[in-house]
Every structure is written in C-alpha cells, then in structure tokens.
C-alpha cells in the first residue's frame, strides 16, 4: 500500500451545526425586525387617534365660534359626540362654557384610550380652550 492511499478525506460543504447556527442568527434578526414593525404600527395607530381627536376638538371650537360664543344646543353637542365616537370608539368628549361679561370661554375636553408598549392601554386627554369676544 502506498502512502497516498492512506490520505484522509477532505471535508467539503457545511456541517449541520454550522447551518443551524446560521439559521438561529437569522431568526434572531428577523424577530427583531418583526418587533420593530409591530411597535411602529402601534405608534402609527396612536398618532392617527391623536389627529382624529385634535380634528374633532377643533371642529367643536369652530362650532362655538360660528355660534358667536353662545352655548350650543344639546343636539349640536350630541351630533359632535356621535361623530367623535364614530372615528375614535374609546373617546368621550365634554364642552364647558364660562361666561364673563361679553367674553365667553369654552373648554373642549376629549378623553380616549390608546395602546402603549405591550398591550396596556393608557387614557389620554386633550383640552382645547377657546375665547370668543
């Protein structure tokens, strides 16, 4: 027998352990990307809710200004609340008037729930004040 016949075979390709380690590293990276995407979508939803609340609060202020600062009838306030709840289901709104001589101050307060990290919901409040002379 020749010495060249006793040569050890050369390794070719990847071992199973190398492939599994590579897949594990790829999986961890993909889970990080999915987590960031989930957080991003949640924040986009919260931003949408905040913009809807701001729009509805401002529309109530404009209704008050269009009414020359006089207190609105209950049907106008009820219609505004119905539109608010249609766009932001967890929201509730209140309108408070303060009359001081010829100056009318109105405070529109909207309260709603939005989701934070995890699945916890947190109550948010926005108050818009308007003064009509």
Q: State residue 131's pLDDT score.
A: 86
| Burial class of 59 by CB neighbour count within 10 A (0 to 12, 13 to 18, 19+) | middle
Mean pLDDT, range 51-56, rounded to an integer: 94
Predicted TM-score (pTM) of this structure:
0.72
pLDDT at 102 over 60: yes
Query: DSSP per residue over 71-93, as a string?
Result: PPPHHHHHHHHHHHHHHSTT-EE
| Residues paired with residue 69 on neighbouring β-strands, in sequence order | none
Band of the pLDDT at 105, cuts 50, 70, 90? confident
With 0-12 / 13-18 / 19 or more C-beta atoms within 10 angstroms meaning exposed / middle / buried, residue 96 is exposed
């Amino acid at each position: 027998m020749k010495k060249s016949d006793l040569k050890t075979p050369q390794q070719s390709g990847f071992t199973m352990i190398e492939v599994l380690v590579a897949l594990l590293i790829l999986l961890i990276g993909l889970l990080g990307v999915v987590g960031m995407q989930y957080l991003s979508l949640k924040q986009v939803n919260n931003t949408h809710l905040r913009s809807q609340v701001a729009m509805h609060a401002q529309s109530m202020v404009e209704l008050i200004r269009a009414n020359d600062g006089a207190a609105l009838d209950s049907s106008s306030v009820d219609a505004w609340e119905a539109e608010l709840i249609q766009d932001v289901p967890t929201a509730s709104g209140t309108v408070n008037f303060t009359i001081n001589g010829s100056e009318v101050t109105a405070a529109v307060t909207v309260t709603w729930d939005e989701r934070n990290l995890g699945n916890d919901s947190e109550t948010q409040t926005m108050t818009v004040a308007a003064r009509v002379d």
